[in-house]
Amino acid sequence: MLWIPLAIATALVVASQDAWVKKHFAHLSSYEMAVIPMFFSLPLFTATLSLVEIPPLDKIFLFCFLVSLPLNAICFTLYMRAIQIAPLSLTLPYLAFTPIFAMIPGYMFLGELPNMWGGAGILLTVLGSFVLNLDPREARAGLGSAHLIREPGSILMLIVAFLFGFAVVIGKVAIVHSSVMFFTVLFFTALNISMVMVLWLLGKVNLQTFTVNPVKGLVAGLLLYFHAVLHGWAVSLTKVVYMISVKRLSILIGVFFGGLFFKEENIPIRAAGALLMLAGAVIIMIIGYAG
């Protein structure tokens, strides 16, 4: 059961990373927000890569590795854009949909299929998304969906959750066909270098981006490093949906951080919605995959 404390630690690191990057780098573009933790985590990933033994590799690993790079690059950029333009408490809860979106690829590639209780978890998660978007100032009920349509950050995060559902499964397959640490550090070394280089060549970032707040950038890089290592370690020890469901405790932590550090509004309602969404994920984890 080591994966449970590892997944909880991952959740705490993820929420801390989101709050840190939003607080100190939200004035930058979404591209710059994305590459700052990538740039400053590069020395850690490359140093670790030099110490990791290379396992036997096959064509399945290569395929998953090559697919994961652009998929995660898109996810990371959209993720940063979402938390940049919208409150944490109104965007992060949509990540609760990730284990739901992971069900189909999880079954296709890993043979992980939930039972009938998974449907109950899905319904709770969807209900939570409506509660999350309720505005007490609105006179009519059922305006959660309209709020979602009006909030671009929420829509972006829902897209991220969908893409992450595939990305995490593909990553798990790559781990199965290599090793946890090798795939994790090689993947993030390649992803970080390619993202920084491509965005620099396209003129989306410049060298000054990395020199304005180097100490704060180092903290962001350290958080990304621990996020990646803890995630890879935890997901290798259990089913994808198990791990992602517990990891989504970052939703509650993120809503709390949104109220504490950014004075976001409607925190009680958003926390209630986040709790429902999280309850759905937990049902999927504990009951939906039982037996």
Is the pLDDT confidence value at 141 over 50?
no
Range(s) of the domain holding residue 80: 3-288
Integer Cα distance of 152 and 216 in angstroms: 28
- The burial of 116, by beta-carbon neighbours within 10 Å (0-12 exposed, 13-18 middle, 19 or more buried), is given as exposed
Contact 248, 96 (CB under 8 A): yes
Check residue 142 and give its pLDDT: 44
Q: Could you give the CA distance from residue 11 to residue 7 in angstroms, rounded to a whole number?
A: 6
pLDDT at 134: 64
Highest mean pLDDT among 198-207, 247-256, 281-290: 198-207
pLDDT tens digits for 33-78?
889 999 999 999 999 999 999 999 999 999 999 999 999 999 988 9
- Residue-level pLDDT at 133: 62
For residue 177, what pLDDT is reported? 95
The answer, yes or no, to whether residue 101 has pLDDT greater than 70, is yes
Q: Provide the token pair at 202.
A: 């396209």
Least confident of 3-7, 177-181, 215-219: 3-7
Amino acid at 74: I
- Give the residue with greater pLDDT, 64 vs 18: 64
Residue 149 has pLDDT above 60, yes or no: no
Which amino acid is present at 84?
Q
Structural domain count of the chain: 1
Measure the CA–CA gap between 61 and 183, rounded to whole angstroms: 9
